Homo-oligomer: A and B are copies of this chain.
Amino acid sequence: MKLMLGLCSALLLLFLTGSCSAQKPHRCRTPPLLSGSLSVSAREGQDWAFAKYRYDAFGQRIRLWEIGQFQSRSFHADMLFLFQEGVVYTINYKNQTCQKNPLHTAFHPSEIPHNASLLSQVILGGSSAPGEGLLVNTWTGDVPETGGKYLATVTEFGCLPVSTLYYTAESGWIVTTYFNAVKGVEDPEQFFPPHFCTDVETEDETLNFFSAFL
């Protein structure tokens, strides 16, 4: 009888644990300090960019170093977005020049929006041995402002971005893949404009965050 009770308790515990860990994923927010890399491609790979980024949700700051190709022309850029101050710096270390533009985009922390719907939870790769797979959640939703839609995939553990697919009739599919993320920012001075930006006049033209990829 004791054995039966013991077995039942063990099974009950198993099912309770199972039901807890089998809970559906929750919408989540990316860690507030993050360093890593990303690649973006559009128009079936004809336009593309590869970027290293530093992300600071506390200070609402993003630094991007990118190379890429847009409309058959290659480009590279070093940009610093300071959302609280409403400015973006385009930095050229080689020539020691700097351009300062107004930034009229509000800072949006990297997160799964509250109205996103869970599409799937899968393991990229496999689960037969450690290190062979990555548990990820894919969320989908609409962007009413643009008539667009998105699929966003983040890690179950840590809520790190893995990929986003964004579609509008105008742009087609824009595919972004995120990799080599590290929590934290090694050098916070990368959010300081360099000394040759200090006395630069602000240009008239307003930029938004997506200017970095266009």
Contacts and interface: CB of A to CB of B under 8 A. Distances in A.
A81 interface: no
Contacts of A140: none
A124 B126 contact: no
Contacts of A122: 37, 179-180
Interface residues of A, number: 38
Contact of A179 (B123, B182, B183): B123
Nearest to A35: B126
A173 interface: yes
Contacts of A59: none
Contact of A125 (B167, B181, B184): B181
Interface stretch (A61-69, A105-113, A153-161, A190-198): A153-161
A160 B37 contact: no
A25 interface: no
Nearest to A158: B132
Contact of A182 (B127, B155, B172, B177): B127
B128 A134 contact: no
A36 B126 CA distance: 8
A127 B180 contact: yes
Contacts of A180: 122-123, 126-127
Interface of A: 34, 36-37, 44-45, 122-136, 155-158, 160-162, 167, 172-173, 177-184
14 contacts: A44-B173, A122-B180, A124-B124, A124-B162, A124-B177, A125-B178, A126-B180, A126-B181, A128-B182, A131-B135, A131-B157, A132-B158, A132-B160, A133-B181
